Structure 1
Amino acid sequence: MKPTSTLKKNRFSSYLLPLTFLLFVAILYGEDLSCIFRQPFERIQQLQQAQPTSRKENISWPFAVGKTNEGCNIFDGKWVYDEAARPMYDESECPYIQPQLTCQEHGRPDKGYQHWRWQPHGCTLPSVNATFVWEMLRGKRMMFVGDSLNRGQYVSMVCLLHSIIPDNAKSMQTFDSLTIFRAKDYNATIEFYWAPFLMESNSDNAIVHRVKDRIVREDSIEKHAKYWKGIDIIVFNTYLWWMTGMKMKILRGSFNDDPKNIIEMVTEDAYRMTLKSMTKWVDKNMDPHKTRVFFTSMSPSHEKSAEWGGEPGGNCYNETAPIEDPKYWGISSSKSIMRVITEVFSETKVPITVINITQLSNYRKDAHTMIYKKQWSPLTAEQLANPVSYADCVHWCLPGLQDTWNELLYAKLFYP
């Protein structure tokens, strides 16, 4: 609603800026952000698609073969238990899953978490067709860039698609930070590049990166981005590693400098700096008529069961069913981060589609790896006596939730 010319500035000055911002966002993102007006505080993170509608109209989306039905928000729906259609593959039949995600192999006694299907309200997600995907990827490269959660989504994608490729025509190789799954007959690759901050950091070693005192180097995206050039479909994520609860340490200069020139920066400002570097690189290197750029939103954790009405002192351990309350939004620290994403992505020339996995994943307290995974180090007697103390409520079992993330990606890639 536009303010009339008769409104007096001194009367509405305290409201004009926030109202203008909400109006700008609503126009910019259209129906994808209609939920902001329904739940402005709880659902600020519900950024569905980060590109202006005017740009949508002027772009012939590469890889698109159709479009999502008008008014269908694939990110707004409910979880339906479906033993017939889920899981879409068996854990034992996908040799590419890391031992940190193979929950059945590591003794998880239940399988219910594998059988939940995401059902959008008023429409249906298109089924993932592996043959179709490989034909669309013929001669192309698809890459996931980010942290271990993005690596989980990458592995999920490989598991969804690999079975139709003969054993002698597929391979997976890792070269430091880069992992490549190759389908020889299609001359196509699906790749993962480890870069938890996207910028250069002291956590860039793909194996040894559990660094407590995290440092990110300013204006350093080219350190990693040189490996992203020539990609046809790229899926970014970065979030988890920023959530230290403290200010971020930003390096100005080189990691080889002694002493190092390090400043502290508020997390949101450091995050904004990184996203601006990413979007500038995207604008310079990605052709919107030939490439697609995606950003996977924040993956929630379930560290405190009291948040969803569980016993105090608990977490995701022993949870075997999703949260059923549709009004549950979690106790999220991501709202300010999502606001940064909204602001930064609105300025990029190349449309960036956000795969909004945040809210639908918030319900899935049952889908984490918990204690059913390979442990990084031997567990103490005290830990073994109290599984809650070492349950992983951040990462997700495969098959499971992250297969749904890829269904959403599939829908936005081929039916934007």
Structure 2
Amino acid sequence: MKQQVYLDRKIQSLYPLALAAILVLGTARLVFDSLKSNDSYVFKLYGRQRTPQVVVVSPEDRVDESRCNVFEGKWVWDNVSYPLYTEQNCPHLVKQVTCQRNGRPDSFYKNWRWQPNGCNLPRFDALKLLQILRGKRLMFVGDSVQRSQFESFVCMVQSILPQGKKSLQRVPPRKIYKIQEFDASIEYYWAPFIVESISDHATNHTVLKRLVKLDSIAKHGKHWEGVDFLVFESYVWWRYKPTINATYGHPDDVQEYNVTTAYRLALNTWANWIETTINPQTQKVFFMSMSPTHLWSWEWKPASNENCFSESYPIQGSPSYWGSGSSLEIMDIIQDVLGGLKVNVTFLNITQLSEFRKDAHTTIYGERKGKLLTKEQRSDPKKFADCIHWCLPGVPDTWNEILYAYLLKTHQNLT
């Protein structure tokens, strides 16, 4: 009898331990189940550790330059696949480029696809691009035309990203679009001359008085160091007059230079920075050719005296059309300097294909000095039409499709 009582008491003493064990196991099960959900507190606090997916670039996605020059071709009508995004679903476009929102009545300019001769550009895949950019930075460097290319690039990827996992920060002279899930960023850096100048303030830059420091680049360069993909552009700010005030050597020795001479000196300064700073094993550099202007309609419509305003279709039937706004001398300088580099820089020659797009500029549906044109200004398109900047969606999307093709081309599949 005493032995039975002792045994009962022994069993009762084990109840708290058993209950505690059940509670611990139950809690652990709840935690592990919760970790499977994106809404769990633990996930929100620490984030989910995802295994990076291998990016497979198929042979069909790689441009074979020995067989096809993607910069030679024609514009074809395609209102099924284009535009790649809309003004409404991309909140990162500045007013300068949102032509339809600003009152442009036609939308044909959005529906043209660039078709290279003898091949196709790889279809843009935002997810594949983001996987290539995982853990990396891509930066566009240049003027407001280059800023449009940056905005286009952001718009082409942002729609697949969930809210709260992306952000746009303005840190003058940079804009930084962060993609948290991929630990990546797409950035823009304002440097209209690439080298330093008195126009380097991101928003308050002088237009009429220009002074360029042809041998100075360090202030800009420190922001470019270590960036995985750099995309440079510099042209239209050089073209205000045939000459430009600049320094070379002593900072107080201001002289008037022929623009082409100054451009070569500036590009040599940039080239020296590339050769002494870029690590070709971990960094890729691209240089965009000049973005053309369409200021004089007589160049594509003889005997006329207008500009790009009211143009609704690309130039067709003239495969070698080249407007006077695009300097062949500057083009030769770019190719000469790039050809002499010891570090590989990919030249993206978008000038000729963009020359055909007289229809795609912002004209009177953009901004002037930071403000939309007034009714009175819009009534005088010959004076106020902007035939330099491009509407978005539009031509810069094609530049980025080509950039995407070269990113695919340089990407190494993991085996």
Shorter-chain TM-score bucket reads: 0.7 to 0.9
Match of 1:138 in 2: 134
Matched letter for residue 350 of structure 1: V
8 A Cα contact 2:215 2:249, kept in partner: no
Distance 1:94 1:381 in 2: 27
Matched letter for residue 379 of structure 2: A
Which of 260, 267, 285 is the equivalent residue of 1:268? 260
Which of 281, 290, 308 is the equivalent residue of 1:316? 308
Written as runs of structure 1 = structure 2, the 5 A alignment for 1:48-59 is none
Written as runs of structure 1 = structure 2, the 5 A alignment for 1:179-194 is 179-194=175-190
Deviates more, 1:344-353 or 1:228-237: 344-353
Match of 2:51 in 1: none
Superposition deviation, residue 354 in structure 1: 0.9
1:336 aligns with 2:329: yes
> Identical aligned pairs, as a percentage?
46
1:358 aligns with 2:351: yes
| Structure 1 residues 379 and 139, CA gap change in structure 2 (3 angstroms) | closer
Match of 2:392 in 1: 398
Distance 1:308 1:294 in 2: 31
Superposition deviation, residue 311 in structure 1: 5.4
- Which 5+ residue runs of structure 1 have no aligned equivalent? 1-62
Q: 3-state DSSP class of the match of 2:367? A: coil
8 A Cα contact 2:228 2:282, kept in partner: yes
Match of 1:385 in 2: 379
Residue deviations 1:255-306 (CA, integer Å, cap 9, x gap): 7xxxx42011221111111111111111122122221100010000000000
| Structure 1 residues 380 and 253, CA gap change in structure 2 (3 angstroms) | farther
| Structure 1 residues 379 and 169, CA gap change in structure 2 (3 angstroms) | closer
- Which 5+ residue runs of structure 2 have no aligned equivalent? 1-55, 411-415
Superposition deviation, residue 212 in structure 1: 0.7
| Structure 1 residues 310 and 97, CA gap change in structure 2 (3 angstroms) | farther
TM-score by length of 1: 0.81
Which of 186, 202, 205 is the equivalent residue of 1:209? 205
Distance 2:58 2:73 in 1: 24
Which has the greater radius of gyration? 2
8 A Cα contact 1:305 1:313, kept in partner: yes
Superposition deviation, residue 128 in structure 1: 1.2
Written as runs of structure 1 = structure 2, the 5 A alignment for 1:91-106 is 91-106=87-102
Distance 2:302 2:166 in 1: 45
Deviates more, 1:189-198 or 1:386-395: 386-395
8 A Cα contact 1:65 1:414, kept in partner: no
8 A Cα contact 1:126 1:411, kept in partner: yes
TM-score by length of 2: 0.81
4+ residue runs over 6 A deviation: none
Match of 1:415 in 2: 409
Which of 232, 242, 245 is the equivalent residue of 2:241? 245
Matched letter for residue 413 of structure 1: L
Q: How many residues align?
A: 351
Matched letter for residue 63 of structure 2: T
Distance 1:169 1:197 in 2: 34
Which of 304, 329, 347 is the equivalent residue of 2:296? 304
Match of 2:153 in 1: 157
Residue deviations 1:385-411 (CA, integer Å, cap 9, x gap): 322210000000000111000011111
Deviates more, 1:208-217 or 1:86-95: 208-217
